[in-house]
Structure 1
Amino acid sequence: MQVLSTTHELGINGASLAIPEIAARLTTRGDRIDVLVPEEVTGPLQGLIESAGGRVIRAANIKTGYDVALVNTILNAQMVSSMAPHMPVVWYIHEAEAGFDWLLKNSEGAAAFQAATHVILYHPHCRDTVFAPFLRHFPQHAVSIIPSGADIPPPDAPVPRAHEKDGRGILFVGTPYSRKRPVDLMSAFLAFCDGAPPLRIVGDSSYLDPDARPLLKRAPDRFQFLGVLDWPALRAEYERASILSLPSGSESMGRVTMEAALHGCALVLSDLPVHKGVWRDGKSALLHSVGDQPSLGLALRRLLDHPEDRIRLAEAARMVALNYPKEQSLDRVLMVLDRVTRAHQLSQPRSSAQNGVR
């Protein structure tokens, strides 16, 4: 099978990492994948794609040579429409409400839903609520819900020990722009987390919400910006931290919470629809309303002051995350690619020889 994928960026984030991971699975079984990117785009993701056996290209004849397209993220809606006349298209949408907002501002998005062969979403909420207006006439069998997963440690690997951690380290992982609401966390941290080490923030600080600047000016020594980290460095941060806080206004059930939980972190999360059925307030995480800085701060303070709660929640979170192995998610994506490709091949007119014509 020859797959044509596409991405608008070569930076590293949860959505873009899906490409080299899928590429590795495809090339291992003998398939090929080209990843089409804009001419001017560069970044570290290219090395990961090539290490996985894929090929990054800047131009392609999309009319011939490919069995199926895998279009990554909502932002590549235009590529769905461009590729659909020439091959079946699987649209892998990683966004939730943020993706819907983008569609409202970009008219090509609605047309892309009409052109796509199959759509992959992370959570039923994304299908039944967020993108429901665009999927109203979409065949039910052509929408797959495939949750994001994380690397599950082997059975003989050491189990992270929440009770052995310092108990005071708080971590944020993600691009710190307005949708992730870093200001809520930074404000709550200053108001409620006296005595804790500086809040450590992993992500591209060039996107920092401008409203965070006054907080930085007020207490510059209370925040540490670590930038974008490779996996070994990020894993070290998960192992160091005791609490992961993600106060986002919108998520699609990305991998950060799973990764942190697998490394022994207790979770403090905004109460989003995509967390329902996964994280339970007071059982496997502490949830707060979006934008509720006092509730966020009190949740952090509770975990700082009551190690028994933090340890209990961290251990429960790890048990949840073990149910979401990344390998299973990747297997399901490949099953969709195989099924869509096969259905397309069967729908094509057979050659004269196949039809018995002499």
Structure 2
Amino acid sequence: MNGATLYNIGFVLEQALGHVTHAKNLQANISHDPDVRPHWALIPFETYGLAARIPIYKSNWTVRAGLRARRSLRQLVGKTTIDALFFHTQVPAVLAAGWLRRYPSIVSLDATPLQYDQLGPYYQHESGPAWLERLKWHLNRRCFNLARHLVTWSQWAKEGLIEGYGVPPDKITVIPPGVNVHEWQRPTPRSHHEGPVKILFVGANLERKGGFLLLEAFRALRPLGVELHLVTKDNVPPEPGVFVYHGMQPNSAPLKALYHQADIFALPTFGDCLPMVLSEAAAAGLPAVSTRIAAIPEIVRDGETGLLTPVGDVQALTEALRRLIMRPEERLHFGEQASKHVSRAYDARHNAGRLLELIKGEVDLARMQERIAA
């Protein structure tokens, strides 16, 4: 390895919802690049003790993440030299304008703030007064302008940056998060089997992810002899054919075993951007039934890798599940196509490499500009 090609990169990663798993995948995959020295600043979402009683700080995630990011960055640069910064999401970057000016910075996001506002009711998120929303828009646009480059998880989010914030298309690269596909693939190929068809749902928040809607659909399908397996943090009253799993850890062997034993993956979510569980299901060779919302149609291709239904439509959900239950050949075909699709576009190790090449390119450009200026 040539010392001149060493890259010290600071990764400022929010630790909320599915971004925790994304951070773990990045940490695992970036370690494979010998030219990169990663320095991690993980920004926790929760507040404890005195901090949980400070007005605004305790209730505003942007303020909390921004202040925590700035403190982490001060500690980081006090210990090592930094060549570039990578922020995911934009939330910890919004109040870090000084750092964005100081270092070549890439900002990554799964949804723009305006898109998140559209999904807000399902995240217990409400828009503020008009003056505050205008301020938020200006701060986010400044963040997007100061970043050397922007990375979005989906084409949907890229279009949100272009339409909502006037970001030039050539400043944005779509790099989905995905999963380490080889780690989620089933040990043996799927085939016809005796016994009940198993439907799998994975979602911490049962209500937002459509778990209650799925239970309603399942009850109509129970006479077909199917089973419903729910991985969630919420409590579910016992009923025939329903199996509930609590405390499952991301990327764990027991969780992967549930994917491998299932026949259909169902996520009739009311509010999501690009759920990582859909990548896991596809890597495990499962056809998915989900909703036509945000970036989900980019990973669940309707009629090709699974089926999409309107949000909140229990009848459409029931019929989509019935179709896959009653058509095993189609079920297997969709699963094979899903596996191919996720291998091409959502492999986390490959996409981490794409991300690093983008960051390295910005560092190389900055170094060249410094040499010219000198």
Query: TM-score, normalized by length of structure 1?
Result: 0.76
Q: Give the structure 2 partner of residue 32 of structure 1.
A: 37
In structure 1, C-alpha distance between the alignment counterparts of 2:126 and 2:141, rounded to whole Å: 7
**Equivalent of 1:255, from 252, 276, 280?**
276
* Residue 180 (structure 2) pairs with residue 175 (structure 1): no
Q: Give the structure 2 partner of residue 98 of structure 1.
A: 116
In structure 2, C-alpha distance between the alignment counterparts of 1:26 and 1:148, rounded to whole Å: 13
The question of whether the paired residues in 2 share the 8 Å contact of 1:80 and 1:91 is answered with: no
SS at match of 2:229: strand
SS at match of 2:200: strand
SS at match of 1:322: helix
Q: How has the CA–CA distance of structure 1 residues 153 and 7 changed in structure 2, closer, same or farther, with 3 Å as cutoff? A: closer
Q: Give the structure 2 partner of residue 3 of structure 1.
A: 9
SS at match of 2:82: coil
* Residue 149 (structure 2) pairs with residue 118 (structure 1): yes
In structure 2, C-alpha distance between the alignment counterparts of 1:103 and 1:80, rounded to whole Å: 24
Give the aligned length.
325
Q: Give the structure 1 partner of residue 94 of structure 2.
A: 78
In structure 2, C-alpha distance between the alignment counterparts of 1:220 and 1:167, rounded to whole Å: 13
In structure 2, C-alpha distance between the alignment counterparts of 1:157 and 1:241, rounded to whole Å: 11
Q: Deviations over 1:55-109 (max 9, x none)?
A: xx97442667211111112432435435213212211212463376579657243
SS at match of 2:94: helix
* Residue 364 (structure 2) pairs with residue 342 (structure 1): yes
Q: How has the CA–CA distance of structure 1 residues 3 and 268 changed in structure 2, closer, same or farther, with 3 Å as cutoff? A: same
The question of whether the paired residues in 1 share the 8 Å contact of 2:275 and 2:296 is answered with: no
User: C-alpha displacement at 1:289, in angstroms?
Assistant: 0.8
SS at match of 1:290: coil
User: C-alpha displacement at 1:41, in angstroms?
Assistant: 6.5
**Equivalent of 1:147, from 172, 176, 187?**
176
Gaps of 5+ in 2: 1-6, 48-69
Q: Deviations over 1:18-68 (max 9, x none)?
A: 3343334444314222222358969xxxxxxxxxxxxxx974426672111
Q: Give the structure 1 partner of residue 256 of structure 2.
A: 235
Q: How has the CA–CA distance of structure 1 residues 329 and 14 changed in structure 2, closer, same or farther, with 3 Å as cutoff? A: farther
User: C-alpha displacement at 1:329, in angstroms?
Assistant: 1.0
Q: Give the structure 1 partner of residue 82 of structure 2.
A: 66
Root-mean-square deviation over aligned CA pairs? 3.5
SS at match of 1:176: coil
In structure 2, C-alpha distance between the alignment counterparts of 1:69 and 1:4, rounded to whole Å: 5
The question of whether the paired residues in 2 share the 8 Å contact of 1:187 and 1:293 is answered with: yes
The question of whether the paired residues in 2 share the 8 Å contact of 1:6 and 1:70 is answered with: yes
In structure 1, C-alpha distance between the alignment counterparts of 2:272 and 2:44, rounded to whole Å: 30
In structure 2, C-alpha distance between the alignment counterparts of 1:8 and 1:158, rounded to whole Å: 33
The one-letter code matched in structure 2 to 1:183 is F
The question of whether the paired residues in 1 share the 8 Å contact of 2:196 and 2:225 is answered with: no
In structure 1, C-alpha distance between the alignment counterparts of 2:255 and 2:291, rounded to whole Å: 22
SS at match of 1:323: helix
Q: Deviations over 1:154-207 (max 9, x none)?
A: 9x985431424755111112332554232222222233334545522224x1xx
After the TM superposition, which of the residue ranges 156-165 and 250-259 deviates more from structure 2?
156-165
The one-letter code matched in structure 2 to 1:19 is A
Q: Give the structure 1 partner of residue 62 of structure 2.
A: none
* Residue 265 (structure 2) pairs with residue 244 (structure 1): yes
Q: How has the CA–CA distance of structure 1 residues 40 and 289 changed in structure 2, closer, same or farther, with 3 Å as cutoff? A: closer
The question of whether the paired residues in 2 share the 8 Å contact of 1:249 and 1:270 is answered with: yes
SS at match of 1:331: helix
Q: Give the structure 2 partner of residue 291 of structure 1.
A: 312
Identity value in percent: 22
Gaps of 5+ in 1: 43-56
**Equivalent of 2:214, from 160, 165, 185?**
185
In structure 1, C-alpha distance between the alignment counterparts of 2:256 and 2:95, rounded to whole Å: 34
The question of whether the paired residues in 1 share the 8 Å contact of 2:200 and 2:229 is answered with: yes
**Equivalent of 1:132, from 155, 162, 166?**
162
Q: How has the CA–CA distance of structure 1 residues 36 and 103 changed in structure 2, closer, same or farther, with 3 Å as cutoff? A: farther
Task: Give structure 1 regions of 4+ aligned residues with deviation exceeding 6 angstroms.
Answer: 39-42
The one-letter code matched in structure 2 to 1:109 is N
After the TM superposition, which of the residue ranges 291-300 and 57-66 deviates more from structure 2?
57-66
The one-letter code matched in structure 1 to 2:84 is V
In structure 1, C-alpha distance between the alignment counterparts of 2:280 and 2:194, rounded to whole Å: 16
User: C-alpha displacement at 1:301, in angstroms?
Assistant: 2.1
